Amino acid sequence: MAAIFKPSANLVAKLVLAGFAVLLISVVLLLWFGPRSDYARNVGLTFLQPVPFSHQHHVSGLGLNCRFCHTSVEASSSAGMPSTYTCMTCHSQVWTSAGMLAPVRESLAKNKPLAWRRVTDLPDYVYFNHSIHIAKGVGCSSCHGDVAQMPLTFKAKSLTMKFCLDCHRDPGPKLRSKDKIYDTHWHGGDETRSPDALLAEYRIGGRNLTDCSICHR
Protein backbone atom coordinates (compact mmCIF):
# COMPACT_ATOMS: atom_id res chain seq x y z
CA MET A 1 0.00 0.00 0.00
CA ALA A 2 1.36 3.38 -0.97
CA ALA A 3 2.24 5.81 1.82
CA ILE A 4 -0.37 8.48 2.42
CA PHE A 5 2.18 11.09 3.50
CA LYS A 6 5.55 11.78 2.03
CA PRO A 7 8.62 11.45 4.30
CA SER A 8 8.93 15.24 4.28
CA ALA A 9 5.57 15.48 6.04
CA ASN A 10 7.27 14.60 9.33
CA LEU A 11 9.56 17.59 8.97
CA VAL A 12 6.65 19.87 8.10
CA ALA A 13 4.69 18.66 11.12
CA LYS A 14 7.66 19.26 13.41
CA LEU A 15 8.17 22.76 12.01
CA VAL A 16 4.48 23.59 12.46
CA LEU A 17 4.53 22.38 16.07
CA ALA A 18 7.76 24.25 16.77
CA GLY A 19 6.33 27.41 15.21
CA PHE A 20 3.18 27.09 17.30
CA ALA A 21 5.26 26.64 20.46
CA VAL A 22 7.36 29.72 19.64
CA LEU A 23 4.20 31.73 18.94
CA LEU A 24 2.61 30.61 22.21
CA ILE A 25 5.73 31.48 24.22
CA SER A 26 5.98 34.86 22.47
CA VAL A 27 2.36 35.70 23.30
CA VAL A 28 2.85 34.74 26.96
CA LEU A 29 6.03 36.83 27.21
CA LEU A 30 4.35 39.78 25.50
CA LEU A 31 1.37 39.62 27.85
CA TRP A 32 3.69 39.38 30.86
CA PHE A 33 6.43 41.86 30.02
CA GLY A 34 4.51 44.22 27.73
CA PRO A 35 2.52 46.01 30.45
CA ARG A 36 5.68 46.16 32.58
CA SER A 37 7.84 47.77 29.91
CA ASP A 38 8.96 51.39 29.99
CA TYR A 39 7.13 51.94 26.72
CA ALA A 40 3.83 50.80 28.22
CA ARG A 41 4.44 53.20 31.12
CA ASN A 42 5.18 56.09 28.72
CA VAL A 43 8.76 56.46 29.94
CA GLY A 44 10.69 58.72 27.58
CA LEU A 45 7.61 59.74 25.59
CA THR A 46 6.48 63.32 25.06
CA PHE A 47 2.85 64.35 24.69
CA LEU A 48 1.15 67.01 22.65
CA GLN A 49 0.57 69.98 24.95
CA PRO A 50 -1.33 73.24 24.40
CA VAL A 51 2.07 75.01 24.43
CA PRO A 52 5.45 73.36 23.68
CA PHE A 53 6.91 74.41 27.02
CA SER A 54 10.66 73.87 27.35
CA HIS A 55 12.13 73.27 30.80
CA GLN A 56 15.54 73.37 29.15
CA HIS A 57 14.97 76.97 28.06
CA HIS A 58 13.31 78.18 31.24
CA VAL A 59 15.46 76.33 33.80
CA SER A 60 18.88 75.98 32.16
CA GLY A 61 18.61 79.01 29.91
CA LEU A 62 16.81 81.52 32.14
CA GLY A 63 17.61 80.06 35.54
CA LEU A 64 14.05 79.75 36.83
CA ASN A 65 13.65 77.74 40.01
CA CYS A 66 11.09 74.92 40.12
CA ARG A 67 9.07 76.84 42.71
CA PHE A 68 8.46 79.78 40.38
CA CYS A 69 5.87 77.69 38.53
CA HIS A 70 5.21 74.83 40.95
CA THR A 71 4.35 77.08 43.85
CA SER A 72 2.75 74.56 46.21
CA VAL A 73 5.45 71.90 46.08
CA GLU A 74 6.65 72.67 49.62
CA ALA A 75 3.22 72.97 51.20
CA SER A 76 0.91 70.52 49.46
CA SER A 77 0.63 66.99 48.17
CA SER A 78 0.45 68.50 44.68
CA ALA A 79 3.32 70.51 43.26
CA GLY A 80 0.81 72.69 41.45
CA MET A 81 0.73 73.87 37.86
CA PRO A 82 1.41 77.49 36.89
CA SER A 83 -1.60 79.65 36.23
CA THR A 84 -1.84 81.67 33.04
CA TYR A 85 -1.02 84.75 35.12
CA THR A 86 2.32 83.19 36.03
CA CYS A 87 3.14 82.70 32.36
CA MET A 88 2.04 86.23 31.51
CA THR A 89 4.28 87.68 34.21
CA CYS A 90 7.00 87.41 31.60
CA HIS A 91 5.13 86.95 28.35
CA SER A 92 3.19 90.17 28.65
CA GLN A 93 6.62 91.73 28.07
CA VAL A 94 8.56 89.25 25.93
CA TRP A 95 7.47 87.16 22.95
CA THR A 96 4.16 89.01 23.12
CA SER A 97 3.16 88.08 19.56
CA ALA A 98 4.70 84.62 19.30
CA GLY A 99 2.37 82.20 17.55
CA MET A 100 3.20 79.31 19.87
CA LEU A 101 2.02 81.40 22.82
CA ALA A 102 -1.37 82.19 21.30
CA PRO A 103 -3.08 79.60 23.58
CA VAL A 104 -1.66 81.42 26.61
CA ARG A 105 -3.00 84.78 25.47
CA GLU A 106 -6.36 83.18 24.66
CA SER A 107 -6.41 81.55 28.09
CA LEU A 108 -5.91 84.95 29.70
CA ALA A 109 -8.54 86.65 27.54
CA LYS A 110 -11.16 83.98 28.23
CA ASN A 111 -10.10 83.43 31.84
CA LYS A 112 -9.90 79.72 31.12
CA PRO A 113 -6.91 77.65 32.32
CA LEU A 114 -4.73 75.80 29.86
CA ALA A 115 -5.50 72.08 29.62
CA TRP A 116 -2.06 70.57 30.20
CA ARG A 117 -1.70 66.83 29.78
CA ARG A 118 -0.20 65.22 32.87
CA VAL A 119 3.17 63.60 32.13
CA THR A 120 3.95 61.84 35.41
CA ASP A 121 0.61 60.47 36.50
CA LEU A 122 0.08 57.96 39.30
CA PRO A 123 -2.87 55.58 39.76
CA ASP A 124 -5.75 56.86 41.87
CA TYR A 125 -5.02 54.25 44.54
CA VAL A 126 -1.54 55.68 45.18
CA TYR A 127 -1.09 58.53 47.65
CA PHE A 128 1.92 60.75 47.01
CA ASN A 129 2.78 63.95 48.83
CA HIS A 130 5.31 66.29 47.25
CA SER A 131 5.78 68.43 50.34
CA ILE A 132 6.93 65.64 52.67
CA HIS A 133 9.46 64.39 50.12
CA ILE A 134 10.88 67.89 49.68
CA ALA A 135 10.96 68.41 53.46
CA LYS A 136 12.81 65.11 53.94
CA GLY A 137 15.57 65.79 51.42
CA VAL A 138 14.28 64.13 48.25
CA GLY A 139 14.95 66.36 45.26
CA CYS A 140 12.80 66.86 42.17
CA SER A 141 15.14 65.07 39.78
CA SER A 142 14.99 61.84 41.79
CA CYS A 143 11.55 61.22 40.29
CA HIS A 144 11.33 63.66 37.39
CA GLY A 145 14.83 63.33 35.97
CA ASP A 146 16.98 66.21 34.77
CA VAL A 147 14.16 68.35 33.41
CA ALA A 148 16.62 71.18 32.81
CA GLN A 149 17.86 69.18 29.82
CA MET A 150 14.40 68.48 28.39
CA PRO A 151 13.30 70.64 25.43
CA LEU A 152 9.93 68.93 25.85
CA THR A 153 8.99 67.30 29.13
CA PHE A 154 8.82 63.52 29.28
CA LYS A 155 8.43 60.92 32.00
CA ALA A 156 11.97 60.03 33.07
CA LYS A 157 11.29 57.30 35.64
CA SER A 158 8.95 54.32 35.66
CA LEU A 159 7.42 55.32 39.04
CA THR A 160 6.41 51.72 39.61
CA MET A 161 5.82 50.26 43.05
CA LYS A 162 9.31 48.74 42.87
CA PHE A 163 10.78 52.15 42.05
CA CYS A 164 9.20 53.65 45.16
CA LEU A 165 10.00 50.71 47.44
CA ASP A 166 13.66 50.66 46.41
CA CYS A 167 13.94 54.19 47.78
CA HIS A 168 11.75 53.63 50.84
CA ARG A 169 13.78 50.58 51.87
CA ASP A 170 17.06 52.49 51.68
CA PRO A 171 16.40 56.24 51.47
CA GLY A 172 19.82 57.41 52.64
CA PRO A 173 21.63 57.41 49.27
CA LYS A 174 18.73 59.31 47.66
CA LEU A 175 18.80 62.18 50.15
CA ARG A 176 20.54 65.46 49.47
CA SER A 177 21.36 68.67 51.31
CA LYS A 178 18.64 71.31 51.41
CA ASP A 179 20.50 73.59 49.03
CA LYS A 180 20.49 70.82 46.40
CA ILE A 181 16.79 69.92 46.48
CA TYR A 182 16.04 71.86 43.28
CA ASP A 183 19.32 71.09 41.55
CA THR A 184 18.19 69.05 38.55
CA HIS A 185 21.78 68.01 37.74
CA TRP A 186 22.32 66.40 41.15
CA HIS A 187 23.62 62.85 41.33
CA GLY A 188 24.25 60.73 44.40
CA GLY A 189 28.00 61.05 43.97
CA ASP A 190 27.70 64.84 44.23
CA GLU A 191 26.55 64.71 47.86
CA THR A 192 29.34 65.55 50.29
CA ARG A 193 27.46 64.47 53.41
CA SER A 194 26.99 60.84 54.36
CA PRO A 195 23.60 59.10 54.08
CA ASP A 196 23.62 58.53 57.84
CA ALA A 197 24.14 62.23 58.51
CA LEU A 198 21.27 63.15 56.20
CA LEU A 199 18.99 60.51 57.71
CA ALA A 200 19.68 62.00 61.13
CA GLU A 201 19.15 65.58 59.97
CA TYR A 202 15.82 64.80 58.33
CA ARG A 203 14.79 62.49 61.20
CA ILE A 204 14.11 59.52 58.98
CA GLY A 205 14.15 56.03 60.40
CA GLY A 206 11.60 55.89 63.18
CA ARG A 207 8.80 54.59 60.96
CA ASN A 208 8.56 51.67 58.59
CA LEU A 209 8.53 53.42 55.22
CA THR A 210 7.42 50.25 53.45
CA ASP A 211 4.18 50.01 55.42
CA CYS A 212 1.22 49.73 53.02
CA SER A 213 -0.56 52.72 54.55
CA ILE A 214 2.29 55.04 53.56
CA CYS A 215 1.19 55.03 49.93
CA HIS A 216 -2.25 53.37 50.00
CA ARG A 217 -4.82 55.20 52.12
User: Is the pTM value of this prediction over 0.85?
Assistant: no
Side chain identity at residue 55, one-letter code: H
Selection from 84, 44, 47, 82 nearest residue 64 by Cα = 82
In order along its 217 residues, the chain shows pLDDT tens digits of 566 767 777 788 888 888 889 988 888 888 777 777 787 888 999 999 999 999 999 999 999 999 999 999 999 999 999 999 999 999 999 999 999 999 999 999 999 999 999 999 899 999 999 999 999 999 999 999 999 999 999 999 999 999 999 999 999 999 999 999 999 999 877 677 899 999 999 999 877 899 999 999 8
Check residue 193 and give its pLDDT.
Answer: 85
| Helices 102-110 and 84-91, packing angle to 10 deg | 120
Q: Radius of gyration over alpha carbons of the chain, in Å?
A: 25
Check residue 40 and give its pLDDT.
Answer: 80
Q: What distance in Å separates the CA atoms of residue 105 and residue 193, rounded to the nearest whole number?
A: 46
